[in-house]
Amino acid sequence: MIHHSQQRQHRHGLFLADAMIGFAITAVLGLVLVTAITQTKRSQERLDETTTATRIARRVMTDLQAGKPAPAKLDDAEVKVSSATGGAAVTGQAWVEVTVNYHGRTATLVGLTPRGGAK
């Protein structure tokens, strides 16, 4: 009878150790999952900010091509327009570079606009 009781205690100890190991593995997997989700969210935010900066740069370039003035700020973004060099000369047109900084993300476009700028 004593031998049977000791065997039950030994099995109970193994069950407890197995449960603890299972909980530890589950905790590690949960931590890895939370880290991956957080990283994905941050990457998505960076991508969204870069896309917004590019959209604003396109909008400014379109305004310049229509002869409108470029804003200094647009949708919380800093806009910088400067002359671009290196392009082929086009009569009545000038090469410009539009750089937009939006929440730390930068987008740059180079294009032709009417010479003389805004009307």
Average of per-residue pLDDT values in the chain: 87
Q: What percent of the chain has pLDDT over 70?
A: 87
Please tell me the distance from the alpha carbon of residue 114 to that of residue 119, in angstroms, as a whole number.
Answer: 9
Q: Which domain holds residue 67?
A: 2-114
Say which residues have a Cβ less than 8 Å from residue 17's Cβ, sequence separation at least 6: none
- The pLDDT-based confidence of 8 (bands split at 50, 70, 90) is low
Query: Would residue 119 count as lying in a domain?
Result: no
pLDDT in tens, 48-61: 999 999 999 999 99
Query: What's the whole-number mean pLDDT along residues 109-117?
Result: 87
92 vs 3, more confident? 92
- The pLDDT-based confidence of 118 (bands split at 50, 70, 90) is low
Query: Would residue 71 count as lying in a domain?
Result: yes
Q: Is the pLDDT of residue 96 over 90?
A: yes
pLDDT in tens, 30-51: 999 999 999 999 999 999 999 9
Q: What domain count does the chain have?
A: 1
Residue 53: count other Cβ atoms within 10 Å of its Cβ: 23
